[in-house]
Amino acid sequence: MNRKYRKTVIAGNWKMNLLPSDVKAYGEALRQRAGKVKFCDLVVCVPAVSIPAAVKAFRDTRIAVGAQDLSEHASGAYTGEVSAAQLKDAGAKYVIVGHSERRTYHGETNETVNAKLHASIDGGLTPIVCVGETQAQRDMGISKDIIRAQVKTAFYKIPADRARKIIIAYEPVWAIGTGLTATPAEAQEICSEIRAVIRSLYDARIARAVTILYGGSMNPANAAELLAQPDIDGGLIGGASLDAGKFVQVINAANQ
């Protein structure tokens, strides 16, 4: 973390878990425990149908609500899709873009991710754009090439004043939901590479200001060590965010 230059962000990603009717109890548990957070921004990314309940549950707290995906289109005949404007109107402030599960199960390409990044910014949401290599790519020794291509394509035609507000999450696919975590040194190496790509696309000032998260089996036991790395500015937490108690322990690690 480097709070002098950029924000620390801890974001939960519920994925397709919990019901809208579960949100109230989660909100009460988190509200009690997260009351003392000063040094980091908190986000909980919930299924779209749970956004209104989450907005209500987190009212008057520092916890913002995020969505997990959005349409690349602003409006129109796209049955089943949800636009940035609709998410914003429902109370979301953030949106995850290009999560590896969207890339793997829903055919999202680097180009789709770029279109969705534009749509999220145009719609007034703060995107959390995910990048990460698969186990096979890691074994082939091409992790950095994959990450560079993902970041460069995602940021294509994103103007500098907008780029600095985008949150990037490095989520190695082999670490998501597996209990395997990148070592702090491995995660730092890639996060520093991501910052270097942003520097090459924009400038040193913007690269210094961009918040980069690590995600992939981050939990109370490994959070502090990961967050101690200079280029890791927070976390995107899946499994451990479903339990308010565990999520608070991760938040506490970031709130030092």
Q: Which is nearer to ligand PGA, 98 or 215 (CB)?
A: 215
Phi and psi at residue 128, to the nearest 5°: -115, 100
Question: In the window 142-171, what residues touch ligand PGA (CB under 6 A)?
Answer: 171
Question: Which one of 26-34, 102-110, 111-119, 238-246 is the stretch in contact with ligand PGA (CB under 6 A)?
Answer: 238-246
Question: In the window 167-206, what residues touch ligand PGA (CB under 6 A)?
Answer: 171, 176-177
Please report whether residue 218 would count as binding ligand PGA according to CB under 6 A: yes
Is the backbone of residue 179 left (phi > 0), alpha (psi -120 to 50) or beta? left
Which residue from 117, 133, 140, 112 is spatially nearest to 193, judged by alpha carbons?
133
The answer to whether 233 and 211 are in contact (CB under 8 A) is yes
- With contacts defined by CB under 6 A, how many residues of the chain interact with ligand PGA? 13
Please report whether residue 127 would count as binding ligand PGA according to CB under 6 A: no
Judge whether 171 counts as a catalytic residue: yes
Both tokens of residue 237?
Answer: 């937490």
Q: Return all residues near 152 (Cβ < 8 A) that are at least 6 apart.
A: 197, 201
Q: Output the CA–CA distances (angstroms, integers) from residue 126 to 3, 21, 185, 254, in the order listed.
A: 19, 26, 28, 20
Judge whether 99 counts as a catalytic residue: yes
Q: Return all residues near 180 (Cβ < 8 A) that are at least 6 apart.
A: 174, 216, 217
Please report whether residue 217 would count as binding ligand PGA according to CB under 6 A: yes
Catalytic residue among 99, 101, 108, 133: 99
Please report whether residue 215 would count as binding ligand PGA according to CB under 6 A: yes
Please report whether residue 133 would count as binding ligand PGA according to CB under 6 A: no
The residue of the chain with the least Cβ separation from ligand PGA equals 238
Give the integer Cα–Cα distance in Å for 253 and 256. Answer: 6
Question: In the window 4-23, what residues touch ligand PGA (CB under 6 A)?
Answer: 13
Catalytic residue among 118, 133, 171, 225: 171
Please report whether residue 237 would count as binding ligand PGA according to CB under 6 A: yes
Q: Please select the residue that binds ligand PGA; options are 216, 232, 246, 248, rule is CB under 6 A.
A: 216
Beta strands (DSSP E) in the chain are 9-13, 41-45, 63-67, 94-97, 126-131, 167-170, 212-215, 234-237
Please report whether residue 236 would count as binding ligand PGA according to CB under 6 A: yes
Q: Which residues make up the interface to ligand PGA (CB under 6 A)? A: 13, 171, 176-177, 215-218, 236-240
Looking at the annotation, which residues are catalytic? 99, 171
